[in-house]
Amino acid sequence: MLLMSLLWFGSASATPAITEPMQDGDFCNMLKVAGTGTFEVGVSVNDREIALEYSNFMYGDGDLEMDSGTVEAQRAAKLPGNENGSTVPLNLWESNKLTYSGKTPMVGMKYIHSKAFWGGIGAEITETFSVTEMERVDSSYFASTNPASYITDPKKVIELLKASPVHTVGMQTKNSFNGTWQTDARMHKMFFKDIKVHESFTGTFEVEKTIKFRESPAEEKIQSGCDGIDC
Q: Are 66 and 59 in contact (CB under 8 A)?
A: no
- From the list 97, 107, 95, 132, the residue with the least C-alpha distance to 39 is 107
What is the predicted pLDDT for the residue at 222? Answer: 47
Residue 167, preceding peptide bond in cis (omega within 30° of 0): yes
Which regions in the chain score pLDDT beneath 70? 1-13, 79-86, 191, 218-231
pLDDT of 4: 54
Residues 6 or more apart in contact with residue 230 via CB below 8 angstroms: none
Q: Is 149:20 a contact under the CB 8 Å cutoff?
A: yes
Q: What is the pLDDT of residues 3-22, one digit of tens each?
A: 455 555 554 467 889 998 88
